[in-house]
Structure 1
Amino acid sequence: MQKVYTDPRIASKFAGDRMWSLAAIVVLWLLYAFVFYEVKDYAGSSEVIWALMISGGLVILFNTAAIFAMLFHLSEERDEIYGLDLHYLDLKKQ
């Protein structure tokens, strides 16, 4: 069941955080692909290339999973996380 959020700023802040998180995942994958492409010629043997592929793949897999877990947590706790942030922003404006 979808929650109804009372403050539209919460949905806006979450949408921004989600967009930047997904952009970070894309940049991460592109950087790893670029680095692997540039390094593979200097790696030497095929065993080293496989070690680089497996270790790099595990790193980006776990980082991607961590970012998705963060997004899942943010979506479940939107009101508490962003509400507190907006509360202090509103106090600062007064």
Structure 2
Amino acid sequence: MSVNLARDAVPHALETRIDRMHRRDRIGAMAFVVVLWFVVLFVLWSIWPDITNGAIRTILCICGAGLLVLNTAAILAMLRHYESDKHFIYSLDLMHLDEMRRQKRV
């Protein structure tokens, strides 16, 4: 089975569903990044008074910053990739979702 998923070959209804699904995924990914930043900074702020060793404070700050920067960069790279390849990714997803719905009805 060959699937032609060029942008010009995608019907308008499918294009709308792809855009809607992509928008939800972008919102979810960005919400994850915001929550991750909030949680890491909150934990660092909460435990800061209990850590008296300057070396451990430095290590925690560096590791926390590394965690935040690398995870944020990975999510942004994923979103860029999904944007450029969303028709292929989401067309297949929607095709399988539609098939599962048809199977449930039978």
TM-score (normalizing by structure 2): 0.80
1:58 — aligned with what?
66
1:25 — aligned with what?
33
Ranges in structure 1 where 5+ consecutive residues have no aligned partner: none
Length, aligned pairs only: 92
How far has the Cα of 1:41 moved from its partner?
1.3
Ranges in structure 2 where 5+ consecutive residues have no aligned partner: 1-6
The letter of the residue matching 1:17 is D
How far has the Cα of 1:49 moved from its partner?
1.0
Q: Aligned equivalents of 1:21 and 1:33: distance in 2?
A: 18
Q: Aligned equivalents of 2:41 and 2:97: distance in 1?
A: 40
2:56 — aligned with what?
48
Q: 1:67 aligns with which of 65, 69, 75?
A: 75
Q: Which range moved further: 59-68 or 36-45?
A: 36-45
- Runs (4 or more) in structure 1 with deviation over 4 Å come to none
How far has the Cα of 1:89 moved from its partner?
1.2
RMSD: 1.4
TM-score (normalizing by structure 1): 0.90
1:77 aligns to what SS in structure 2?
A: helix
Highest Rg: 1 or 2?
2
1:38-84: CA deviations, max 9, x gaps? Answer: 11112212222111111110011000011111111111110111000
Q: 1:37 aligns with which of 40, 45, 61?
A: 45
% identical aligned pairs: 33
Q: Aligned equivalents of 2:21 and 2:74: distance in 1?
A: 20
Correspondence 1:76 to 2:84:
yes
The letter of the residue matching 2:32 is A
How far has the Cα of 1:10 moved from its partner?
0.2
